[in-house]
């Protein structure tokens, strides 16, 4: 399922809203999750999972094309841990 | 941040009622869970992809007792954030 398909399903659920309005709602939801993570926060959605960030130490990487060593700064990366309910749902036949 | 905060964002930014905002947040999660439980990956451009992986059976070990236990084949969910989100988070 891609974003436009999600929007189409939500438009079916909400016939009184236009696809354009739904599109704005979907954008607002995902943007606010990203924003929260970039502020160092977490987003916990019971039954689905939790979005957090994890820190990565600085390291010496390599340009794969030239083989040249480059310093990579310490940074935070997004992380998602599926909730228990979600994990179970994936494994029922 | 939880569902309630996301509903609040929808209420403030889009102007839907609080009840309707809460309902639509719920439906977003419902449709995503539903697609994933049907074995379908979910790709949200600009945000990231939820990707299903099938893991084979393997022998694990109870870390406390050292007893070997078989781990059944299972399906797991991974999330790969978009480059956009990675950049946004790396910059802080």
Look up the ipTM and state it: 0.89
Same domain, B34 and B64: no
Token pair of A33 as six digits: 């999750």
Same domain, A48 and A75: yes
Residue B42: which of A1, A51, A78 has the nearest Cβ? A1
Same domain, B26 and B50: no
- What is the nearest CA distance from B64 to chain A, expressed in angstroms? 22
Do residues B22 and B7 lie in contact, with contact meaning Cβ atoms separated by under 8 Å?
yes
Same domain, A61 and A83: yes
Same domain, A46 and A35: no
Q: What is the pTM of this model?
A: 0.89
Same domain, A10 and A51: no
Range of the domain at B34: 1-39
Q: How many CB atoms lie within 10 A of CB B61?
A: 11
Same domain, B68 and B92: yes
Q: Is A77 on the interface with B (CB under 8 A)?
A: yes
Q: Would you write out chain A's pLDDT as a tens digit for each of its 93 residues?
A: 999 999 999 999 999 999 999 999 999 999 999 999 999 999 999 999 999 999 999 999 999 999 899 998 899 999 999 999 999 999 986
Number of domains in chain A: 2
Query: Residue B37 and residue A89: Cβ atoms within 8 Å?
Result: yes
What integer best gives the mean pLDDT of chain B? 95
Same domain, B88 and B76: yes
Same domain, B4 and B29: yes
Range of the domain at A75: 42-93
State the Cα–Cα distance between residues B22 and B8, nearest whole angstrom: 8
Nearest CA to A51 out of B64, B3, B46 is that of B3
Return the residue of A nearest to B7 by Cα.
A29
Q: List all residues of chain B from 33 to 92 with a beta carbon under 8 Å from chain A.
A: 33, 35-37, 40-48, 50, 52, 74-79, 81, 84-86, 88-92
Same domain, A33 and A54: no
**Sequential DSSP letters for A30-88:** HHHHHHHHHTT--EEETTTEEEEEEEE--EEEE-TTT--EEEE--EEEEEEEE-HHHHH
What was the pLDDT predicted at A67? Answer: 87
Same domain, B29 and B54: no
- What is the nearest CA distance from A89 to chain B, expressed in angstroms? 6
Same domain, A51 and A91: yes
Q: Which residues pair with B20 in a beta bridge?
A: none
Number of domains in chain B: 2
Same domain, B54 and B65: yes
Q: Which residues pair with A82 in a beta bridge?
A: A49
Query: Residue A37 and residue B89: Cβ atoms within 8 Å?
Result: yes
User: B44: helix, coil or strand?
Assistant: strand
What was the pLDDT predicted at A92? Answer: 84
């Amino acid at each position: 399922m891609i974003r436009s398909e999600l929007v189409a399903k939500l438009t079916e659920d909400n016939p009184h809203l236009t696809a354009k309005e739904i599109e704005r709602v979907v954008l607002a939801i995902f943007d606010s999750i990203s924003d929260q993570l970039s502020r160092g926060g977490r987003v916990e959605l019971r039954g689905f999972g939790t979005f957090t960030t994890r820190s990565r130490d600085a390291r010496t990487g390599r340009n794969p094309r030239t083989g040249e060593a480059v310093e990579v700064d310490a940074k935070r990366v997004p992380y998602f841990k599926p909730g228990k309910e979600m994990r179970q749902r994936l494994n029922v036949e | 941040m939880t569902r309630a905060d996301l509903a609040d964002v929808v209420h403030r930014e889009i102007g839907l009622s609080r009840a309707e905002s809460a309902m639509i947040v719920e439906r977003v999660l419902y449709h995503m869970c539903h697609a994933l439980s049907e074995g379908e990956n979910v790709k949200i451009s600009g945000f990231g992809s939820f990707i299903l992986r099938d893991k084979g059976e393997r022998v694990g070990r109870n870390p406390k007792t050292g007893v070997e236990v078989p781990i059944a084949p299972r399906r797991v969910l991974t999330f790969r954030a978009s480059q956009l989100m990675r950049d946004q988070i790396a910059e802080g």
